[in-house]
Amino acid sequence: MATSITKLKEKLKFETRLQQVPVPFTEEEYEQMIVHGLEQLYIDTARASAYEDTEIYTDEETQEVMFSEDLPIDEQAYVLLLAKIMFYNTVKTGYNNMVSYTTDAISVSNMDKPYANMQATVSALENERRIKYFKMFRFVVPD
């Protein structure tokens, strides 16, 4: 059995759909956010040597991008959470770049309002990440 990166990507897109972005993300960028989350999962759980990006492949039958390991639901949630953190950090960076060039026009037109609480969102996601990490008890406490 394997884990569908495509399904995780679709969940990421669904859970972030209401967030306005300075520049729309491509399908590949969403996919890379999920892959980043996978890599970080293996790093955070001290299994970095077990991760290989060659384990990511496209299923010929379904055309889904897959990860060869069958991740439990808590690890999938952790990967999705890490991808959301990357999503919001990327949006925040894009917004900061946009503001540095056009501060007056943005503040006059109130275009900065969709991004006003971005840091609070990222902080809340980071806190949720810490909670999920410690709930993945099998990795926190050594055997």
pLDDT truncated to tens, each residue of the chain (143 aa)?
A: 899 999 999 999 999 999 888 889 999 999 999 999 999 999 988 888 889 888 999 999 999 999 999 999 999 999 999 999 999 989 887 776 665 555 555 555 555 565 667 777 888 888 888 888 887 766 545 55
In a domain, residue 117? The reply is yes
Specify if 12 maps to a domain: yes
Find the domain containing 34 and state its range.
3-138
Sign of the C-alpha dihedral, residues 126, 131, 132, 133?
positive
User: Does residue 103 fall inside a structural domain?
Assistant: yes
pLDDT attached to residue 17:
93
Of 79, 86, 95, 81, residue with least CA distance to 20: 95
Q: Report d(CA 35, CA 14) in Å as an integer.
A: 17
Residue 15 lies inside a defined structural domain of this protein: yes
Identify the residue whose tokens are 């439990």.
72
Type of residue found at 42: Y
Q: In total, how many domains does the chain have?
A: 1
Instruction: Decide if 98 is inside a domain.
Output: yes
pLDDT at residue number 118 = 73
What CA–CA distances, in Å, run from 115 to 18, 57, 75, 110, 112? 12, 35, 29, 10, 6
| Model pLDDT, residue 25 | 94
pLDDT value of position 95: 72
pLDDT of residue 120: 79
115 in a structural domain: yes
Q: In the prediction, which pLDDT does 107 show? A: 55
Q: Does a structural domain hold residue 28? A: yes
**Residue whose token pair is 């894009």:** 94
Q: What is the C-alpha to C-alpha distance for residues 112 and 132, in angstroms, rounded to an integer? A: 31
* Other C-beta atoms lying within 10 Å of the C-beta of residue 22: 17
pTM, full prediction: 0.79
Query: Sign of the C-alpha dihedral, residues 36, 40, 93, 21?
Result: positive
Domain membership of residue 143 (yes or no) is: no
Task: Tell me the sheet residues that pair with 3.
Answer: 67
